[in-house]
Every structure is written in structure tokens, then in C-alpha cells.
Chain A
């Protein structure tokens, strides 16, 4: 049970016939994929996308420094945005779990609103509407704040799910020991809830990171915006998008790996201690 993967969980162990079928189907799929890849490379070759002028500038340090600066802004915006959304989400979750009806309604309303409105609309709001009120925001905040607001409702619901997943008996035991609501929440319930939701929170961080690619709208110099600058400088669309995509995939892949590891470490209480022993 402890080392069971989802696959073992859903399906029975394959027999000899199934194993043979899986082998041949896998081989066929691999061949198909390789064929597709070859076709893509061939098209690139035919259309001249592989020619030196589209790739030579990647040999220059300035290109990488420029992309690096953009990447730094992307990471800053994503991390700041995610942290803000975690904080807002926490408050909304607390609000939604209150006994006070008004607080609960307000929180539920905000959660549903932020979950329903696309990130892009929030960005336009901060880009076009907010400046008219006289509130001067830097480009960085014009992308970070809407991304955070767009994510906070989802974060709130993820946290609420985690809180609800903590067995009722934990609360009852604490009540019987004389705990009162607030302390009970912070000492007993929330520390257990957070273990359930770490994967969802990291998934949300990935979404915020991807949302920050809208930064070019507000002319914030993130990775995507700098990539666009390079594209117009070198007139090289495909190669640059390809490289930038790989960078995004790499970061998100690492984040997802981190999430898996954290989930494994914390999902079962005592798992870490057992490994240490």
C-alpha cells in the first residue's frame, strides 16, 4: 500500500497476453512519435528555420543575460504573486469557515468571483482601470497583483478542502482537552491540513507562473516580454519561442517534482521519521 502507484491502485497486474500487447502498442506509439518528430525537423529544414541566422545569437552571452534578466522578473513575479494569493486565500478560507453568516457570504462571494473571472480580465483591470483612479503602480505590480487575485479563490478552496479532510476526531480530542476554537485551528487542524494541500499549492504556483506571461501587456520585462524583444531584434520567432518554452517547461517540471517529493514526505505522518530511522 505504501509504495503503491496510482497505476497499481487502478488496475490489476497485467497477465502475459496483456504484457505482450502493451509492449507492441508502446513500440508502435514510439515509432509514430519519432516519425512526427522527424517530420517537424524536416519541415524546419525545408522552411529554413534551422539555418544559422536563427540560432547563432544563442552563442552570445548578451542574449542569455537578457533572457536571464527576464527570467528573474518572471520568478519574482510568480513567487510574490503566489505568496500574496496564499495569504489572501488563507484569509478567504478562514472567512468561509466562520460561523458569522455575513463573513461567510462575503468570503464565498469573493472566492466565486475570483475563480470565475479570467486572469486576463484582472490584468486589464489593473492596466486600464486602476491608473484612472490615480493609483500609480509599477509594471511589476500591474502583473503580480492580478495574478495573485486570480489565484486566491482557488487557493482558498484548496485550503478549505485540506481543513475538511482532517478527521473530526482530531477536533473532538482537542475540544475534550480544553482547546478553544482559534487555538485548536492553528495548533491541531491547520498543521495537518497544510500537509494535504502542499501539492495543490505548488500546482497553483505553476499556474501563477504561467499567468505572468501576460506581463508583456503591461510592459513588464519578464521572460516572455524579453523573448518578444529578441524576436523583433533578430527576426527569429520559432527558435526563440522554442528555447523560452523549454525554460518554462523546465521550471514547472522542477516545481512538480518538488511537489511530489513534499507530498511523499508529508502525506503519511511519520514517513520522514521512519526513513530516518
Chain B
């Protein structure tokens, strides 16, 4: 993994409210190049909102979000160009329902990056091969299993050659037997040096793949540490409580 300390994603004192609810409270966070940061925490802790704020699917009330040292543009062409550099993977896949898997991958490179159709197709097949769904290229999303759809969605994001990837609970909507195939693709991606911010409930993945684990609760970053230190010796009471309740449900951890 390349560690060259250059921050790719940077949040400074970010605050956000949903009405009376203070969902992000003074969030400061840096993801360096090649780093894999995993955010865990109970539901409603603001981790998804944090993830979505980074490419402005959620606006923020105060603070700053920087991508590759540049503040996130507020609108227009600049915002679109910035978003194109950040890959996003959703809980519910969000593949384009009216297009084949292959079209899903080639659509944005052709429309947004003005890639030639031929090149986009070649690249798409290469990516589908890489995530293991090349044999499904001609089908529409509804014909694929959840795991296959999510892997195709990862390929779709990779087709834009993103500088970083955001994963918003990528395995939460999957049947248990399909979680592994998606996590494997993500693990390979991390090993290839992709900068990643992952919101997940998969503790095993966090432990094996993360460079850093961030524990959020009630809109705040409560704890931030290496996975070894965090999982073996959580410092805060909140994290201890959360981990023990997760372990109760998940004996194998």
C-alpha cells in the first residue's frame, strides 16, 4: 500500500442538522491516498450522512469538505466534475434499471468523459471480468442477484477512474451468502491501493482491511484508531458497548 501522506478526502469541523437533529457534530477527518478508512457505529449515528456529504448528496451547514486539497464545489459543472472523480457504491446498488449491465458501465464514461463507445466497452468488459460478472453483461439489473448487482455497481464506479471510493453500507441489503463475494472485490480493491471510505457493519472486513477504524455515535466521531487497537482495546464506554452487542449477535468474530 502506498503511504504518501497526501490527503485525498478532508473534512474540517463539519456540522449538519436534520431539523432539530444534529446529525454531524464537528466532524473532522482525513483520508490519505491509498488509505482504507472504515466507519462503524450504530444506526442513526450519522455515518451514512457523513459518507454522502463527501460528494454533496447531502449539503452541510458549516465546516469544510476538501477533495484533493480543493474545497467541494457547491454546484454546476465543477461539482459534477468533482463527483466524477469520487466513486460511490450504495446500499441499494442503484444500477440503472432500464439498461443492461454493460450499458450501466459504459454510459457515464461515454456521456460524461466523452470516451469512445469501443474503448468504453472494452474497459467495461475488463472491469466486469475483474469483479466476476462478465457473463451477465447482456442482462438487465433485475435479472441479477444482489451480490452480482453490487459487484457490477462497483465496476460502474471504477469505470470513471475515481481517485477515491465511497461505500455506503454496500452489503447491508444483501443475503448473507452474497456478502462475501462483494467484500472480496472490495478487499482486492484495497490491496490495489484504492483510497476508500467504507461505512459498514462488517466487523471482520474492518479488522482485516482497514488502515483505520472510526467509531461514530450520536453524530460525533467517538473513537479513531487502528483496527487492532480498536477491536482489542476500545477506549470509550460507547465503543465497548457497541462492540460487545455486535459480538453477541456475531459469534464468529
- Interface positions of A (Cβ within 8 A of B): 167, 169-170, 172-180, 183, 187-188, 191-192, 195, 268-270, 273-274
Mark out the residues of chain B between 137 and 179 whose CB falls within 8 Å of any chain A CB in the assembled complex. 139-143, 153, 156-157, 160
Partner of B83, one of A170, A178, A188, A270: A178
A274 to B142, CA, bound (A): 10
Q: Which residues of A contact B128 (CB under 8 A)?
A: none
B41: min CB distance to chain A, Å: 22
Is A269 a contact of B97 with CB atoms below 8 Å? yes
Q: Which residues of A contact B86 (CB under 8 A)?
A: 176
Q: Which residues of A contact B142 (CB under 8 A)?
A: 268-270
CB-defined interface of B48-92 with A at 8 Å, one 1/0 digit per residue?
Answer: 000000010100000000000000000011001101101110101
Is A273 a contact of B84 with CB atoms below 8 Å? no
* Number of cross-chain contacts by CB at 8 Å: 78
Is B77 a contact of A177 with CB atoms below 8 Å? no
B243: min CB distance to chain A, Å: 31
Query: Taking A169-B94, A173-B94, A176-B57 as contacts, is the C-beta distance between A273 and B81 under 8 angstroms?
Result: no
Residue ID in chain B nearest A166 by CB atoms: B97
Partner of B98, one of A176, A180, A195: A195
Is A172 a contact of B83 with CB atoms below 8 Å? no
Interface size range on B against A: 20 to 34
A176 to B85, CA, bound (A): 9
Is A178 a contact of B84 with CB atoms below 8 Å? yes
Query: Taking A176-B83, A179-B80 as contacts, is the C-beta distance between A192 and B143 under 8 angstroms?
Result: no
Residue ID in chain B nearest A171 by CB atoms: B94
CB-defined interface of B89-105 with A at 8 Å, one 1/0 digit per residue?
Answer: 01010111110000000
Q: Which residues of B contact A192 (CB under 8 A)?
A: 96-98
B189 within 8 A of A: no
B34: min CB distance to chain A, Å: 21
Query: Taking A173-B94, A173-B96 as contacts, is the C-beta distance between A179 and B57 under 8 angstroms?
Result: no
Q: Which residues of A contact B107 (CB under 8 A)?
A: 177, 187
Query: Taking A187-B107, A269-B142 as contacts, is the C-beta distance between A177 and B94 under 8 angstroms?
Result: no
B198: min CB distance to chain A, Å: 15
